[in-house]
A and B are shown apart, each in its own frame.
Chain A
Amino acid sequence: MERIPILRMGKLLLVTIQVDMHDRLALTLQDDLTSRIVKDGARGVLIDISSLDVVDSFIGRMIGNTAAMARVLDAETVVVGMQPSVAITLVELGLTLSGVRTALDVEKGMALLARNGTV
Chain B
Amino acid sequence: MEMVGGTRLAQLFTSNQEQLLTEWFAQQHAIASRRGLVGEAELRNQFTQFVSLLMAALASSERVDFRTPAWQDVRAFLSEMSAQRARQGFTPVETAMFVFSLKQPLFTRLRDSLGNDAATLADLTWTISTLFDELGLFTTEVFQTSREQVIVRQQQELLELSTPVVQLWDGILALPLIGTLDSARTQVVMENLLQKIVETGAAIAIIDITGVPTVDTLVAQHLLKTVAAARLMGADCIISGIRPQIAQTIVHLGVNLSNVTTKATLAAAFIVALQRTGKSVTGAYGQDAGRAVRSGDGLDSLQPE
Contacts and interface: CB of A to CB of B under 8 A. Distances in A.
Interface in B205-231: 225, 228-231
Interface string B229-240: 111111100000
B10 interface: no
B198 interface: yes
Interface in A70-87: 79-84, 86-87
Contact of A91 (B197, B201, B203, B225): B225
Contacts of B195: 84
Interface of B: 191, 194-195, 197-198, 201, 203, 225, 228-235
Interface size class, chain A? 20 to 34
A104 interface: yes
B21 to A, nearest CB: 50
A42 to B, nearest CB: 21
Given A88-B225, A91-B228, A103 B191 contact: no
Nearest to B193: A84
B172 to A, nearest CB: 13
A105 B225 contact: no
A67 to B, nearest CB: 13
Contacts of B194: 84, 87-88
29 contacts: A80-B234, A81-B234, A82-B234, A83-B198, A83-B233, A84-B191, A84-B195, A84-B197, A84-B198, A84-B229, A84-B233, A86-B232, A87-B194, A87-B230, A88-B194, A90-B232, A91-B225, A91-B229, A92-B225, A96-B228, A97-B232, A103-B234, A104-B197, A104-B203, A104-B235, A105-B234, A108-B201, A108-B234, A109-B234
A102 interface: yes
A87 B201 contact: no
Contacts of A90: 229, 232
Nearest to A100: B232
